Structure 1
Amino acid sequence: MVPTTASISIAQLSLNYRWSKLLVWLRTHGMKTGVDDLLVECKETPTAGNGLFARKSCLPSSLLFAVPPQGLMNIRTLRSLYPTSGPTPLTAVQMISLHLYLNRPRGSEDSPDPHYGPYISTLPREFDSHPLTWLVRSKTGMESGGIPLLDHLPPSVLASLVKLHDRFRQDWAAVRAYLQTANSCVFSTSDAHLDDVHGSTSNYVWAWLNGTFNTRCIYYRLKSSKEDPNNLTLCPILDFANHTAKGSHMTPVPSEADIWNTAPVKPIGKGFKFVSPADTAVQEGEEIFLTYGSHPNRTLFVEYGFVNKSSDEAEITDGEVDMQDLVESLILDQKSSVFVKSVLEDEGYWGDWTLYHSAESAGPSWRLTTALRLHCLVVSNNAIHDNTIQPWRDVVGGKRGTISDENEIAWRQSLITVCAALITRAQASLRGLKDDDFEGCSGSDDWLPWMRENIRILWREELLVAEAVKQCTLRGDDF
């Protein structure tokens, strides 16, 4: 559906209204930059919703904006709103998503939250196009949205999505338990549908997707340990920025805690500063991007709900494919499967078996090579004894390069077999991705063609990576 000029105008007016309210709110919380001095602004983009753009031209590494500490939403700024008799039982993700859940805007209204209302009102109003939403709806019997698309996902993508759903369920259970035990007077803005399983779960999906690393949160040092999972925050202004895989992007300024590795970290830090790309000047009106990190498309799709597109239909520069289901079937189809699986689990090599492709090379991951070597060694020996796999242990320990010439031939042939199986499956799935295969999706979901293309890209990536690795294996490339 192509938006009309009127609809674009109304949407932009609404965005401008909420952007102005957000800046006023930030200034009351300590932001020193006035609207006329701010180097960035939020505008609609043709294909990616809202984006962050330069209001003025600026040199490399210019300060774009600074968000004061009280304008951030994290486990420390929210703690006073959710008091407990002891340490909070909630993680950062759970506390942030709880606050969003309790203060979700209704329809086109602003958030009722007296603390973060102007900020919450700028967040996305729904995540209907996100695959987690489809899976939650399918689990709760809500037949709507993109549920039919689940049947068209590559098995590795669906497996990753199920793991994400498990995390969601654990956090939702913790939040519900907290709500049931906490003093009800704390939650004066509580969702009226808390006891409605469908309504409350649907609202929590929205809150959780806003309140995790998946879409909006970013790393922010709050704990003594840099690796503490509670080192994250929601950051106004920043979350308007779209992702770029390789292009120039703005970067956060390291905090004093990060520079000096100080402990304990100050209660809420000194706020968050972001500078323009270090390698190029930014021109007025140019979109300013953020990078979510180097992730395969499988991860981007499951965690963020989109994929990176390659520039050439017939080639792929970077790609990664998880071979878990095919390799697992190969191993478990043998009488020695229990022994092989036990050894791989004990040694930490069960699962995470991937193929990769880059501009320089293509091949199996070390973990996949290691698993196939053991599988072929045990099958060829036709004996299930620990002393028969010592050559494999020597390879894993770096004492020798290979088990034997015969083993090298065998595991490479197994690799060709699983690549061929993946190629066949991907080709069949791409043929099945037709418009009439998505009956049951709501006609109002204008994101469906875009999401169908994302799924096609996932399958095409699996096909091209498997073909490249198969060819490298057939010609005897070193891995």
Structure 2
Amino acid sequence: MLCTPSSLLFAVPPQALMNIRTLKSIYPTSGPTPLTAMQMISLHLYINRPHGSEDSLDPHYGPYISTLPREFDSHPLTWIVRSKSGIESGGVPLLGYLPPSVHASLVTLHDRFCQDRAAVRAYLTANSYISSKYDTHLANIDDSISNYVWAWLNVNTRCIYYRLKASKEDPDNLALCPILDFANHTPNGPHMTPAPSEADIWDTAPIKPIGKGFRFLSPAGVSVQEDEEIFLAYGAHPNRTLFVEYGFVNKSLGEVEITDGEVDVQDVVESLILDHKSGAHVKSVLEGEGYWGDWTLYCSRESAQPSWRLITALRLHSLFVSNNTIHHNAIQPWRDVIEGKREMISDGNELAWKESLIKICDAIVAKAHASLDNLKSDSAEYGHGWLPWMRENVRTLWREELLVAAAVKQRALRGDDF
């Protein structure tokens, strides 16, 4: 059987989707503890998690819930939750091997998880009429956390954008979708795509309160042969995001060449700036102008470069370093650059910030080499189940940092313009 380009693969009716509208009758959102879509869907899974290998007893979505993954032991959020309970088994030791930027992103994810869990617990406390459904989950605090990690990760790793609100950016525009969540991710095509909804076409809130469901189309540019797998793209995310949010990375990078990559250099740049006597002042100015943090290095087939935010921060840092005293007027050339009134502060400043960039790249490369060596020497600890695969994912994160930093350094040494 041949599937022609952009043809209908399958359709999911609106009632089969799990979202804030379809669950509203079960969990009213009025009252002192309203729930977000993320919290409501994870609450429903939390209450209706299957026991062991049994099917879910949920009368609404039981068959679908029974198809969901039964555990997320390999996901890094599970590791950090277990580490908080003093557990050191499974993937918990790998937390110590993560690049600092990845670990920081994981901590941010854990904070979001804790906030959602607290909101769900408050909702359950305020709505005792469903106590018979959740008492068993709260009887043991360890089981309670484990069950909610399972529920929350199913939503966080498998939900898809689904327009339900007037605003396209509303965070409640999401749903769990049966059938679709069997699709694997690939960064490159061909991908199946959701057909635009009426709300997206006309840019209005859907006429029907729960939308019109999902229709999924085959890849636009190619025909799909029988028995050929069709993939879904989770978005143009760096490996750091894929690892933290979904628990995997794109395929391993080569040891010599890199095609795409991104490195968050917050920890290295923050130390560079704050270790100088002018650091507090530089930070204050960058915060005031909205340029503190979110500093990255990029690499693609076409180029390798620091982000504009990083260049901006390093220019200011170099301006302060080169002056024993800095007055407000002395910063004006830097402000002129970020406002587009001039291309650069001076030739000397350009050389200085690029020298700082090279030092940053050297620090990242050195740290990556050391971490890769440590992971290699400790490989015997990760020899069974999913641990070797996840260990290799962590190595991929470090290889990406190494190769991106090396590529950016090479351009800086050549004197290329960024």
Fold match, TM over 0.5?
A: yes
**Cα drift, residue 190 of structure 1:** 2.0
Residue 290 of structure 1: SS of its match in structure 2?
coil
CA distance in 1, matches of 2:172, 2:219: 27
Aligned residue number for residue 211 of structure 1 = 155
Retained in 1: the 8 A contact 2:20–2:36? yes
**Greater displacement, 117-126 / 445-454:** 445-454
Residue 273 of structure 1: SS of its match in structure 2?
strand
Retained in 2: the 8 A contact 1:320–1:354? yes
User: After superposition, what is the alpha-carbon deviation per residue over 1:23-47, rounded to whole angstroms, capped at 9, x for unaligned?
Assistant: xxxxxxxxxxxxxxxxxxxxxxxxx
Residue 102 of structure 2: SS of its match in structure 1?
helix
Retained in 1: the 8 A contact 2:33–2:119? no
Alignment of 1:400-479 (within 5 A): 400-434=342-376, 436=378, 439=381, 446-479=385-418
Aligned residue number for residue 104 of structure 1 = 49
**Cα drift, residue 347 of structure 1:** 0.6
Equivalent of 2:164 in 222, 227, 232:
222
Residue 433 of structure 1: SS of its match in structure 2?
helix
Equivalent of 2:316 in 341, 362, 374:
374
Q: 1:366 to 1:265 in 2, by over 3 A?
A: farther
Taking structure 2 as the reference length, the TM-score comes to: 0.97
**Cα drift, residue 191 of structure 1:** 5.3
Alignment of 1:139-218 (within 5 A): 139-183=84-128, 185-190=129-134, 192-212=136-156, 215-218=157-160
Equivalent of 1:337 in 255, 276, 279:
279
Retained in 1: the 8 A contact 2:113–2:152? yes
Matched to 2:256, the amino acid is A
Matched to 2:178, the amino acid is P
Alignment of 1:7-406 (within 5 A): 56-86=1-31, 89-183=34-128, 185-190=129-134, 192-212=136-156, 215-263=157-205, 265-310=207-252, 312-406=254-348
Matched to 2:372, the amino acid is L
Aligned residue number for residue 21 of structure 1 = none
Residue 263 of structure 2: SS of its match in structure 1?
strand
User: After superposition, what is the alpha-carbon deviation per residue over 1:203-249, rounded to whole angstroms, capped at 9, x for unaligned?
Assistant: 1011001112xx10000000010110000000000000000101201
Question: Which structure 1 residue ranges, 4+ long, deviate > 6 Å from structure 2?
Answer: none
CA distance in 2, matches of 1:438, 1:164: 29
Matched to 2:132, the amino acid is S
Retained in 2: the 8 A contact 1:105–1:121? yes
Stretches of structure 1 lacking an aligned partner (at least 5 in a row): 1-55
**Cα drift, residue 309 of structure 1:** 1.6
**Cα drift, residue 187 of structure 1:** 4.5
User: After superposition, what is the alpha-carbon deviation per residue over 1:139-165, rounded to whole angstroms, capped at 9, x for unaligned?
Assistant: 122333200000010111101101111
Retained in 1: the 8 A contact 2:45–2:151? yes
Matched to 1:63, the amino acid is L
Q: 1:84 to 1:437 in 2, by over 3 A?
A: same
CA distance in 2, matches of 1:143, 1:81: 38
User: After superposition, what is the alpha-carbon deviation per residue over 1:377-429, rounded to whole angstroms, capped at 9, x for unaligned?
Assistant: 01111224322200000000000000001100100000000100111110111
CA distance in 1, matches of 2:367, 2:56: 46
Retained in 2: the 8 A contact 1:412–1:473? yes
Residue 133 of structure 2: SS of its match in structure 1?
coil
**Cα drift, residue 88 of structure 1:** 6.1
Matched to 2:406, the amino acid is E
Residue 95 of structure 1: SS of its match in structure 2?
helix
Taking structure 1 as the reference length, the TM-score comes to: 0.85
User: After superposition, what is the alpha-carbon deviation per residue over 1:237-287, rounded to whole angstroms, capped at 9, x for unaligned?
Assistant: 000000010120100011001100123652001111101101111111111
Matched to 1:472, the amino acid is R
Residue 134 of structure 2: SS of its match in structure 1?
coil
Matched to 1:197, the amino acid is I
CA distance in 2, matches of 1:297, 1:404: 36
CA distance in 1, matches of 2:134, 2:126: 14
User: After superposition, what is the alpha-carbon deviation per residue over 1:315-371, rounded to whole angstroms, capped at 9, x for unaligned?
Assistant: 110000000000000000011111100111111100010000010010100000000
**Greater displacement, 428-437 / 110-119:** 428-437
CA distance in 1, matches of 2:30, 2:345: 60
Q: Sequence identity of aligned pairs in percent? A: 75
CA RMSD in angstroms comes to: 1.5
Retained in 1: the 8 A contact 2:5–2:218? yes
Matched to 1:91, the amino acid is T
Aligned residue number for residue 8 of structure 1 = none
Stretches of structure 2 lacking an aligned partner (at least 5 in a row): none
User: After superposition, what is the alpha-carbon deviation per residue over 1:429-449, rounded to whole angstroms, capped at 9, x for unaligned?
Assistant: 11111363574x7x7x50001
Residue 49 of structure 2: SS of its match in structure 1?
coil
**Cα drift, residue 170 of structure 1:** 0.5
